[in-house]
Every structure is written in structure tokens, then in C-alpha cells.
Structure 1
Amino acid sequence: MTALRDVLLILHFIGLAAVIGSFLFQVRRKGGFETNWIVIGLVVQLVTGLGLMGLIDATTDGGANHTKLGVKLVIALVALVLAFVARARQKRADAGQAKSKAALPFFHSAGALAIVNVLIAVIW
């Protein structure tokens, strides 16, 4: 179980790096966002986070802090939806059907929520 937990944790951190790294790399842009790495990272984080939560419940007597993990899950799902919206708006902007800044608030919100999730994980 320890090896599985370690693999899931490493993959979870790789997903985190994909989300926040991609966000920070593009944060100063006004348009032309590449959201693929953010979406992939968020999906990896959701899957591995659920796996880690299951392992915590299965291997510890006290179980996990379900309130904290529930809050983190909701934030991650909202961030994923925002990333999908940013991707769709960016595709429309690239096709000339929307303003070039159409994806900006959704992109920034998804990245900010990912950072909030890290803060919750560390501080709570």
C-alpha cells in the first residue's frame, strides 16, 4: 500500500506542476491561452486525489478529514469546469467568433483556484 500511495502522490504532484506551471507561465498573456496542460493536470489531480483519499480511508483507523477533502474536491471540479470553459472560449476567439480576451477570466479563475487548493492542502 505504501508503494501505491507514493506513486499516486508523485502523480498528484505532477498534475499540480502541470496546472500551476502552465498557469504561471501564461498569466501575463491577454489572450491565446493554451489550456491543454491545465485540463490534463486537473484531471490527473482529481483522479489521483480520489485514489489517495480512498487509500487514507482504507489504511487508517481515524480515516480522512472528509470536510477538507470535500472542499478540495469541489474547488478542483469548479477549476476543471472553468478550464473547459476557457478552452472553449479560446477556440472561439482563435476562430474569430469571440473577443481575444474572452477566455481571460476563466483561465485566471481556474489557475487561482488551483493555487487555493494547494493552500488548503498545506494550511488546513
Structure 2
Amino acid sequence: MDILRIILVILHFVGLSMLLGGFLVQVKAIGQGKGTVVRAMIDGALTQLVTGLLLVATIQLGDLGDVNNAKIAVKLVVAVVITVLVFVYRKKVPAPSWALWTIGGLTLANVIVAVAWR
């Protein structure tokens, strides 16, 4: 079970880098009102959501430690909002700047919650 958890953590980080990287590479375009939801953001959001759920299930089912349910609930809500925004605006060219800034900001907020909330 521990190997599965490690693999899921790595995939979770890959999803994070895809989502945040897809946002960061087009910050200038977003500022000019020409930003879009790129494929990496879609794949990253889905990867984050699926691996996050699987990580919690693996930890609880494998008895690998305690899970802070409040923290996980906050992270899940944020991940769902990000995923919804990504899917709603994936075909709009250009996507509204507020939606892209929200995706980037919520992604960063989810990282902060993951690291800072014990």
C-alpha cells in the first residue's frame, strides 16, 4: 500500500505542475485578455482530483495514518471548483481573465492548504 501511496503522491505533483504551469506560462496573455484554458490545465485538474481522492482512500484503507477530514474537505471543494471552471471555459477563446486568475489563485491556495494546515 505504501508504494501505491508514493506513486499517487508523485502523480498528484505532476497534476499540480500541469495545472499551475498551464496557468503560469500564459500570465502575460491573461493580462492582455487573450488567455485560454490549455489542455495541460484540463489534464492537471483531473489528475489532481482523481489522485487526491485515491490518496485519501489509500491512506484510510491501508491504515497508513490519520486523515484531517476538515482539511481534505476544503481541498476537495477547491479542487472541484477548479475542475468546473476549467471545463466550463475550456472552449471559450479567449477565456475570461477572472476565470483564469481564479483557477491560478485557487491552485496556489490548495498548495498552501496542503502544506500549512496540519
The equivalent position to 1:122 in structure 2, one of 104, 107, 115, is: 115
Shift, 1:63, TM fit: 2.9
The alignment's C-alpha RMSD in Å is 1.6
- What runs of 5+ residues in structure 2 fail to find an aligned partner? none
Partner of 2:103: 110
Q: Measure the CA separation in 2 of the matches of 1:41 and 1:61.
A: 26
Greater shift after overlay, 67-76 or 23-32? 23-32
**What aligned pairs does 1:92-111 form with structure 2 within 5 A after superposition?**
100=94, 102-111=95-104
- What runs of 5+ residues in structure 1 fail to find an aligned partner? 91-99
The equivalent position to 2:46 in structure 1, one of 43, 48, 52, is: 43
Greater shift after overlay, 71-80 or 29-38? 29-38
Q: Secondary structure at the match of 2:98?
A: helix
**Number of corresponding residues:** 114
Partner of 1:93: none
Partner of 2:83: 80
Q: Secondary structure at the match of 1:87?
A: coil
Shift, 1:42, TM fit: 0.6
Q: Measure the CA separation in 1 of the matches of 2:41 and 2:64.
A: 35
When residues 61 and 46 of structure 1 are mapped into structure 2, their CA distance, relative to the original with a 3 A threshold, is: closer
**What aligned pairs does 1:5-44 form with structure 2 within 5 A after superposition?**
5-29=5-29, 30-44=33-47
Q: Measure the CA separation in 2 of the matches of 1:80 and 1:61.
A: 28
State the 4+ residue runs in structure 1 displaced beyond 4 angstroms. none
8 Å Cα contact 2:2-2:64 kept in structure 1: no
Higher relative contact order (CA 8 A, sep 6+): 2
Normalization by structure 1: what TM-score?
0.84
